[in-house]
Chain A
Amino acid sequence: MEVNWAQVLFNSAVTGSLYLIGAVGLTLTYGLSGFPNFAHAEFITLGAFMGYWVAEQLGLGLPLALVVAFLVTGIVSFLCYRGIFQPLAKRGASIIHLMVGSIALGFILRHSIGAAWTWRPLYFTAAWSAFDIGPVRISGLWLWLIFTAIALSVIMHFVLVKTKIGKAIRASASNPELALASGINVDRVIWITWFIGAGLAAIAGIFRGADTQIWPMTGWDIILPIFAVVILGGIGNYYGAIAAAFIIGLAENIGVVGLIALGLSTTYRIGIAFLILIVTLIVKPQGLAMLFRRA
């Protein structure tokens, strides 16, 4: 069987970009608040539906849809943190209680979305031009996705290293008490991170929705590889997440080639992320964090 490796490489960049945008918020909030927010999947879904609402139902176009989805999902995430997780943490809830709370929140959001829209798959109608560069088939959507991921990486890098809020985020993540003692308003830092993280998840949701379909499980469908990215990259480690997103993107796309060669169903591509997750836990639970000490 002839494998088009250039295409595999390009697809890996597309997959990795999606996972990166989806995982940044999860890894940052996980590092700051100290628990994995399983409702992050629903922030992705909510973003996809907000995007659909603005772009298709109101007909206002995709750029505005991205902005509205970012803001609305960010605000919902902020309110959820203020209303549920912050009170829980203040009452001394254990990490297990926080995780259960996030799963409960996920159910509320998912089924609210299902009731407000529909459980049937929805599609963006915008058609994306596809063209060939050499042997590689490229669609405009995928180029935008890769462009967004690169832009996000660069912007987030400057935010984390140069700006006051970025430094405050890193300080609060590595040592909350010391950050508090240094005059950083740690609560506000956490709110801002929850807002931005969910906003980025919303953008990932729109891209995923435009690439495949939108339904209330859109986020849940890709939460497993996103968790693999977070764990492999090292919890709370932004640069680790960038590396991990592309490693998992590459592994998935090479894995699909392998699955086809073995005659297995390609739905197992999600199993590859699971395998990486388990191997990381066995071999190096800190993930790639040791390679990127600074953030």
Chain B
Amino acid sequence: MDPLLYVLDLVVFIGIFGIVALSLNLEFGFAGLANFGKVAFFLIGGYTYALLSQVGVPFYLCLIAGALVSAIFGLLISLPALRLRADYLAIAVLAFGEILRLIVKSEDWIAGGDWGVSVSPAISLMGASHRVDALVNIGLVYFCLFICFLVVQLLANSPYGRAMRAIREDEVAAEALGKDRARYKAQALMLGSAMAGVAGGLYVQYLHCVLPGMFMPMITFTVWIMVLLGGPANNWGVLLGAGLVELFDRGANIAKDYLVLPIDPSSLQYILFGALIIFVLLYRPQGLLKESPIKTKALEAARYGRSAVKSDRS
């Protein structure tokens, strides 16, 4: 196989899963929500894209529609569980993902059931080689990633994001200060689901097909590893996590062809992923990059006195 194409392919995957990891970071890192059904919203975005592009809708509208549909489902499914403890939401959303995959699997009329359907690429240039195709995809994916990163980063450092973190740290205290926790959580889930929906659309148009087997619970779990390893509530850390996990994945795939192991390498990879996550939880729960402390003018004034702020302005 063409080595350059392999690298480009890896870069595209890091971008797509970087978007999903960012969306989970918004939900888990900043808002403290356990979304164990991330793959469900990834799936909704993917299938929405596939169905709309079949009837000739331009790709950017397909992506936006995927985001909207995903956001609506994110809101609907989380509403019953949001006022309850974190574990109820986790169970409800996890179950939702399984049901959704079951539906697209057994209803052939949606998108070919188990065998799926093919999806036309978002941007297809006449006579372009695979390398050029991959480059075009890198442009598209990283454009979306950039926007998502900007949104999450700005949100996290805004008063809104601080309220979100306050709810994560202490729901009762935040509520006592007049923050409607259920509303903040619902909004975080909607926005996170929308981003996952965009990523799902990008994913299916890049792979040129959509089928239920692409949306196994393993996807959710992989994204959780990215966030926990990289550093929850740190957007750079999460992107680092996405890169490391994808690299590890590829590395294991290459090693599979050269190493003779007594155990099936893909099983071994899952086992190692599981062990890695338990190791991270036990010994470095803050991830590789820590959450950066909140910075505001008022805080700096309190910490270093008024003069520090004034000299900063001059």
**A interface vs B, CB < 8 Å?**
35-36, 38, 84, 87-88, 91, 93-97, 99-101, 103-108, 110-112, 114-115, 224, 227, 231, 265, 267-268, 270-271, 274, 277-278, 281-282, 285
Contact = CB atoms under 8 A, between A and B. Distances in A.
7 contacts: A94-B86, A99-B87, A105-B278, A106-B274, A115-B263, A115-B268, A270-B98
Do most interface residues of chain A lie in helix, strand or loop, or is the interface mixed? helix
A282 B218 CA distance: 28
Contacts of A96: 28, 32, 34, 86, 90
A38 to B, nearest CB: 8
A87 B221 CA distance: 22
Given A96-B90, A277-B92, 13 more contacts: A36-B90, A97-B281, A100-B224, A106-B274, A107-B221, A107-B271, A107-B273, A110-B270, A111-B271, A112-B267, A267-B105, A271-B99, A285-B88
A108 B99 contact: no
B69 to A, nearest CB: 19
A35 B87 CA distance: 7
Interface of B: 28, 32, 34, 36, 80-81, 84-88, 90-92, 94-96, 98-99, 102-103, 105-107, 218, 221, 224, 228, 263-264, 267-268, 270-271, 273-275, 277-278, 281-282, 285
B91 A231 contact: yes
A95 B86 contact: yes
A281 B84 contact: yes
B274 A268 contact: no
Nearest to A113: B267
A107 B92 contact: no
A93 B84 contact: no
Contacts of A103: 36, 221, 224
Contacts of B106: 265, 267-268
A84 B86 CA distance: 20
Contacts of B275: 104, 108
A49 B102 CA distance: 25
A108 B271 contact: yes
A106 to B, nearest CB: 8
B87 A227 contact: no
Nearest to B220: A103
Contacts of A114: 264, 267
A270 B102 contact: yes
Nearest to B34: A96
A101 B278 contact: yes
Nearest to A285: B84
A87 B99 contact: no
A277 B81 CA distance: 11
Given A114-B267, A115-B263, A277 B273 contact: no
A107 B224 CA distance: 13
Nearest to A266: B106
B96 A274 contact: yes
A248 to B, nearest CB: 13
B95 A277 contact: yes
B105 to A, nearest CB: 8
A45 B288 CA distance: 34
Nearest to B272: A108
Contacts of A271: 99, 102
